[in-house]
């Protein structure tokens, strides 16, 4: 693993442990060159997912983009970060379990809305207003 601070190629793993949901491994690393410590997270990826946009463009699935949009909808809402991670993990698992490598952006948006509707009504309305491109409150 390359050091993010100095770019040195050889870092040493000091500690490994599963995350709370046991779906990833958190590794504490130490750079032997500059002495900095940092953490990496490894996740199992069952398949390479490709998102098919509404204009038929195909882009690689980005878990971080999904997590960012959910966090934006949940901003200043009483939902813990661990719950956000569980939501993202659940959606990714559903997408991977679908058996399809090509996932439409519409399918992802619908899954997020279904999940947010159960978690927090305000976050659901926030996400839906952007996703559905609402022009007025009706």
| Residue recorded with tokens 């390359």 | 2
Q: What is the pLDDT of residues 19-58, one digit of tens each?
A: 776 778 899 999 999 999 999 988 776 678 999 998 999 9
* pLDDT band, very low/low/confident/very high, at 12 (cuts 50, 70, 90): very high
- Give the total number of structural domains in the chain: 2
- What are the Cα distances from residue 36, in Å, to 12, 40, 73, 120? 11, 13, 34, 39
Q: Which two tokens stand for residue 1?
A: 């693993």
Of 38, 46, 41, 44, nearest in space to 25 by CA: 41
Same domain, 55 and 98: yes
Q: What is the pLDDT of residues 92-138, one digit of tens each?
A: 989 988 888 899 999 999 999 999 999 999 999 999 888 887 766 66
Q: Is 25 part of any domain?
A: yes
Question: 31: domain range?
Answer: 11-43
Same domain, 54 and 122: yes
pLDDT of 6 higher than 80: yes
Q: Is 1 part of any domain?
A: no
């Amino acid at each position: 693993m390359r050091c993010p601070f100095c770019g040195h190629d050889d870092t040493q793993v000091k500690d490994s442990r599963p995350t709370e949901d046991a779906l990833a491994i958190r590794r504490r690393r130490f750079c032997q060159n500059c002495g900095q410590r940092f953490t990496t997270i490894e996740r199992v990826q069952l398949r390479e997912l490709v998102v098919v946009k509404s204009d038929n463009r195909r882009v690689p699935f980005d878990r971080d983009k999904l997590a960012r949009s959910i966090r934006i909808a949940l901003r200043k809402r009483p939902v813990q970060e661990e719950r956000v991670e569980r939501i993202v993990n659940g959606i990714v698992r559903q997408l991977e379990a679908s058996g399809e490598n090509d996932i439409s952006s519409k399918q992802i948006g619908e899954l997020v809305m279904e999940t947010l509707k159960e978690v927090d009504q305000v976050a659901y309305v926030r996400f839906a207003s952007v996703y559905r491109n609402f022009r007025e409150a009706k």
